[in-house]
Structure 1
Amino acid sequence: MPAGELAGAAGVDGMSEEEAEEEVFFKFVILHAEDDTDEALRVQDLLQNDFGIKPGIIFAEMPCGRQHLQNLDDAVNGSAWTILLLTENFLRDTWCRFQFYTSLMNSVNRQHKYNSVIPMRPLNNPLTGKGLPLL
């Protein structure tokens, strides 16, 4: 492939033109435990359809085939709000605890993310008062 074609195919910051077009800024991302995907979908539907907060995404819908940390960074920085779905399953999982603390630190260390983390206890399987982490 000639050098001119290669440069044209590699859009901005090394991304292909298709990847650059697919980038969407979400109003919110819901971080949740794997076992709580149904509850995360219910909350996503509620926010988008009943309250008109669109577009939103749950973490389970992030692109496959990429590193987990890159997906987490893209989810948190590619959305206005990060909703932490605090269920009994959430803080039992090491990966979820990592997401929790990373999101909180990101909101403290990055001025544009200040006040962007929303801890939420859903209707189904909420984290009990004694299990809530100290914020």
Structure 2
Amino acid sequence: VQAAFELKTQLDKFEGQMKEAQQIVHDRTYELENEYYKNRRLQEELLHFRRKTERLKKMEMSGSIDEIMVEEIREYKEILTCPSCKVKQKDAVLTKCFHIFCFDCIKTRYETRQRKCPKCNCAFGANDYHRLYLSA
């Protein structure tokens, strides 16, 4: 009886340690995922600033303001165009990663069970995409 009681206490102790270890793993995984998404955001921001720097260098070297303005307008239109289909304007956001696409592309991906963001592969569900209203 005494040995069974000791084994039971050891089992409880080990279960407690296992739960603590599982919680630590869960917390570290969560932190790692957050750092991964922060890193992705910073990489996207870096790419944006590099493009902006290139545009400014072109402006310095180029003499024609009209050409620069046309190029800038083209770039802004590209920013507002869905990167998935490259046809429609962006009008929906994935709330898991905050990437923006046209609603039709996101809805099609959801309906065809391709439920991952085309940019970062973040999984999304039915309640994770919403219309986005951009107005002038």
Point out the structure with the larger strand share: 1
Q: Which structure has the greater CA radius of gyration?
A: 2
Bigger proportion of residues as helix = 2
TM-score bin, normalised by smaller chain: under 0.3
Q: Could you tell me the TM-score, scaled by structure 2's length?
A: 0.21
